[in-house]
Structures are given as structure tokens and as C-alpha cells.
Amino acid sequence: MITISIVDDEKELRESIKTFVDGSPGFSCISSYSNATVALTGLPKDKPDVVLMDINMVGMDGIECVERLKATAPDMQIVMLTVYEDTDKIFKALSAGASGYLLKRSSPAKLLEAIKEVQAGGSPMSSSIARKVVASFRKAAPVAETHTHLSPREQAVLDCLAKGLTYKQIADQLEISIDTIRTYLRRIYEKLHVQSRTEAVAKYLRR
């Protein structure tokens, strides 16, 4: 059972997500909060597997809430669920410690898929968000080549990640298991001297 908490000041949306999550096998919504301040107190006690966090809320916004939560609960997995697509907010949220970034118009099926992915160690993003992230990396100033010591298979995994594919999609495309993907990622992180999928893709694309 994957446990979920929701932080959003839209009551209708909170209730809608809770109803859908609770009605889906293998998922349970254990708490929901209407503002970030209350969530900061409640979430460390709730200890959900995944938090769905809005950005624009009255008082403290979701990005600051993520930053504060990660300072006290670094293992907490948080996915931003928002209407914002601008690059600045995306990178601020990811830099604050968010593990994924989804748009509120994402389908219920996509939401469940993202929850499962982040629980499995992935970084789910809406396809339009992934494109913005990749485009932003490609505009970055060139750096010395660091990818030449990656194996062809490791480069293939990074190429797929740069396109915003999920672990399952990568596994299907490369005909390997999700556990094998995680093994490749560990090697990639070591070779590129990075700590996350986002950093790995950024360094790989700036070649």
C-alpha cells in the first residue's frame, strides 16, 4: 500500500484526489492539508510515502514548504502538482528537493503512475515539463566532455531520461528490467559525480 498526503488550498481538488486515490487498489490517502504551514507540522508525523504539493497557496508557497520539509525529513518524496509550467518555478521546486513535477491537468492514471514511479526512486514529470527541462539544459554553456567514459548502454539510458521517459518506458524500449536501469543509474551517478537524475541529465546534455 502506497500512502499519500495532499497539500493544496483548493478544497474541491483535494477531495477529488483523495476520493480517486482511496478508490484505487494499492493506494491510500492518509492526510490532506489546506496550507503549507499546517502541513509542515503534520507531514513529519504522518510519514506518507509520497506528498502531492501545490505551489501557489495563501501564505507560505509550496516551494518553500518543500525546502523546509526536506531539511527535517530528507527522505520524504514530494511531487509538485501545479498549474505552473514556467521554467523558473520548475527549477526552484526541483532545487528545493521535489522529486517530480506534474501539471494538474494530468490524467488520474498519469498521477497514479507518477506516484508509483517516485516511490520506486524515479523522478516523474509531465512531458511538457520534461521538454522544458531538457531545452533549458541544452541552452547551458558547453563544458568539457564527461560522457566519453560512459558505456553505450549507460548513454542509452541517459538519452531516454533526457526525453522524459519513465523507468517502465525505458525498460520496454531497451528490453531490460527496472532493477537493471537502477544499476546503470548508480554507475552513471558515480562516473558523472552527481547525486540525482536531474543532475545526470544536465551534465550529459551539456556535452
Distance CA 116, CA 119 (A): 5
The helix (H) or strand (E) run that includes residue 5 is strand 2-7
Q: Say whether both 84 and 161 belong to one domain.
A: no
Q: Which residues contact 28 (CB under 8 A, 6 or more apart)?
A: 1, 2, 3, 4, 21, 22
Q: Say whether both 90 and 155 belong to one domain.
A: no
Q: Say whether both 148 and 197 belong to one domain.
A: yes
pLDDT of residue 144: 42
Q: Say whether both 41 and 96 belong to one domain.
A: yes
pLDDT digit string (tens) for 12-70? 999 999 999 999 999 999 999 999 999 999 999 999 999 999 999 988 999 999 999 98
Q: Say whether both 126 and 153 belong to one domain.
A: no
Q: Say whether both 81 and 166 belong to one domain.
A: no
Q: Which pairs from 83-88 meet CB under 8 Å and 24+ separation?
A: 83/56, 84/55, 84/56, 85/128, 85/129, 85/132, 87/132, 87/133, 87/136
pLDDT digit string (tens) for 64-108? 999 999 888 888 999 999 888 777 788 888 888 888 888 888 889
pLDDT of residue 134: 62
pLDDT of residue 141: 43
Give yes or no for a contact between 147 and 193, defined as CB atoms under 8 angstroms apart: no
Last residue of some domain: 112, 135, 158? Answer: 135
Angle at CA 43, nearest 5°, toward 38 and 114?
115
Q: Which domain holds residue 120?
A: 2-135
Last residue of some domain: 100, 135, 170? Answer: 135
Q: Say whether both 86 and 173 belong to one domain.
A: no
The CATH number of the domain where 110 resides is what?
A: 3.40.50.2300
146: its cell numbers: 564527461
Four-CA torsion 17, 112, 25, 183, nearest 10 degrees:
-150
Question: What's the whole-model pTM score?
Answer: 0.66
Distance CA 137, CA 131 (A): 10
Last residue of some domain: 113, 135, 157? Answer: 135
* Structural domains counted in the chain: 2
Q: Say whether both 45 and 75 belong to one domain.
A: yes
Q: Say whether both 81 and 31 belong to one domain.
A: yes
Q: Say whether both 120 and 184 belong to one domain.
A: no
The CATH number of the domain where 197 resides is what?
A: 1.10.10.10
Q: Say whether both 163 and 77 belong to one domain.
A: no
Q: Say whether both 156 and 181 belong to one domain.
A: yes
